[in-house]
Chains A and B, each alone.
Chain A
Amino acid sequence: MAAFADLDLRAGSDLKALRGLVENAAHLGYSVVAINHVVEFKEKKQEIEKPVAVSELFTTLPIVQRATSSRVRLYDIVAVFPKTEKLFHVACTHLDVDLVCVTVTEKLPFYFKRPPINVAIDRGVGFELVYSPAIKDSTMRRYTISNALNLMQVCKGKNVIISSAAERPLEIRGPYDVANLGLLFGLSESDAKAAVSTNCRAVLLHGETRKTAFGIISTVKKPRTSEVDDDSLPACKKAKCES
C-alpha cells in the first residue's frame, strides 16, 4: 500500500495554522508531511516542537549552504533552491542535499543539461516541483508547466516529486489529484503516482542516510549505556567487511 507524502508545507510563524494545515493533509490521506523552513544564507531556525508525530522538517535555501554546518543535522531533509546554472550544477554533483527544487514562478534562467542531472539521479537526489502557484495564478501556471516539461525531457521522469507549497489549508490537494497533475507535467501515469509516493519515500530514506554513515550504522539514543557500546561494536565489524 503506497504511503502518500507531501513534502512541502510552508511554515508561517503561527503554530496553530500549521497544525490546521497538517490535520487537513492527514484528512486528505497523506501519511507523511514535511514542514518547510525557508532560510536565507547563514541564518537557520531551530526545530520547532512537533505538533503531530508524523511531521518532519526540511530546509530550502536560496543559495548554496555549507554541508559542514552543524545545524543541518537537526533537519531530516535538506533541499536547495538554486537560481543560477553554476549552483544547479554544484548542487547536483557535489552538495550533500536530498532535494533540488525547480523554480516555477518565473521563466527558467538556465537550461537543464543532461550530465549533472544524470549524476544527481545516480546519487539519489530528487527534483521537486511545486504546484501551489499554479493553482493561484494563471501566468504562474504557464511557467510551472513549461519548466516541468523542460525538466521531464531531460530527466525522463525519474526521481521527481511533486509537492504543494501550501500556506493555508485550502491550497492542499488530495494525493490522487496531485498524481493527476503529474500527468499534466509530462509524467507517465505510473511515474506520476510514484512521484507522490515511492519517490518521496526514497528522498526520506536518503535524508536518513545523510544522518547515518553510509546508511549502515545509525546511532539511537538509549537510556542504558551498555546498549550504546553494543552499537559501536557491530559498526567496526561491518567496516572491516566492507573494506
Chain B
Amino acid sequence: MVRFKHRYLLCEVVSDDPRCRLSLEDRVLGGLVRDTIARVHGTFGAAACSIGFAVRYLNAYTGIVLLRCRKEFYRLVWSALPFITYLENRGHHYPCFLNTLHVGGTIRTCQKFLIQYNRRQLLILLQNCTDEGEREAIQKSVTRSCLLEESSAGEELSDSGGEEAAEAME
C-alpha cells in the first residue's frame, strides 16, 4: 500500500509560569521546534524534518501538544525536543520544557493514550486539591469520564476533562 507513514509525538509543555501555557500558539510552537532542530541537527536536520512536520493539536489549558513528522525522521525530531528551553511569544520570554508522553503511529492511538493520561491526572488532582468546591468539580468530571468510557469507546473528547482540571488548578 502506498501511503506516507507518520509518527505523532504527544508532548506536554511544562513550565513554572502559568502564563506560558496560555500563550501557546501552533505557529509559534512550530517555529520553535523547527529552530531547535536547526540548532541541534544543522541544515540537514532542518530540511529533513520539515517535510511532513506539523502541529496537529494544541490545548492551551493543559499544555498538551501533538506534533506530526515523517516516520523516517522522527528520531531526529524527538532527539531535538529536550533542547527546547524557552518559549517566546509576542515579546514575552518564558522558560519551559517539553516532556514527551507518547509516540504513536496514528492520531487515534495518541488520543487513546491521552484519555487514559487525563483520567490519571484527574485522580492525582483529586488527591492533591484542598478546596471543597474544586473537589466536587473534579469528582464530577471523574464520574462523568467513567460513564463515558462505558458508553462509547472512541468518541470521548479529552478537552472537557482537561478544561475542568485546568480551572481547578488555577
Contact = CB atoms under 8 A, between A and B. Distances in A.
A183 interface: yes
* B interface secondary structure, majority: mixed
Contact of B75 (A131, A173, A180): A180
A177 B100 contact: yes
A226 to B, nearest CB: 41
A181 interface: yes
A177 B100 CA distance: 6
B95 A184 contact: no
Contacts of A111: none
Contacts of B40: 141
B16 A183 contact: no
Interface in B116-142: none
Contact of B82 (A138, A169, A173): A173
Given A138-B39, A180-B82, A170 B95 contact: yes
Nearest to A134: B83
Interface in A175-192: 176-178, 180-181, 183-184
* A interface secondary structure, majority: helix
B85 interface: yes
Contacts of B16: 169-170
A141 to B, nearest CB: 8
A28 interface: yes
Given A135-B85, A169-B16, A181 B79 contact: yes
Interface residues of B, number: 20
Contacts of A174: 99-101
A190 B102 CA distance: 17
Contacts of B98: 177
Given A170-B95, A183-B75, A176 B100 contact: yes
A21 B98 CA distance: 16
B96 A135 contact: no
A131 B16 CA distance: 21
Contacts of B99: 28, 173-174, 177
B95 A177 contact: no
B97 interface: yes
B75 A178 contact: no
B113 interface: no
Contacts of B101: 174
A180 B79 contact: yes
Among A131, A138, A170, max chain B CB count under 10 A is at A170
B78 interface: yes
Interface in A94-146: 131, 134-136, 138, 141
Interface string A16-55: 0000000000001000000000000000000000000000
Among B40, B81, B83, B101, max chain A CB count under 10 A is at B83
Interface of B: 14-16, 39-40, 75, 78-79, 81-83, 85, 95-101, 103
Interface of A: 28, 131, 134-136, 138, 141, 169-170, 173-174, 176-178, 180-181, 183-184
Closest 3 CB pairs of A and B: A174-B99, A177-B82, A173-B82
20 contacts: A28-B14, A131-B82, A135-B85, A136-B85, A138-B39, A141-B40, A141-B83, A170-B95, A173-B82, A176-B103, A177-B81, A177-B98, A177-B99, A178-B82, A180-B78, A180-B79, A180-B82, A181-B79, A181-B82, A183-B79
Given A170-B14, A170-B15, A177-B82, 4 more contacts: A176-B100, A176-B103, A177-B98, A180-B82
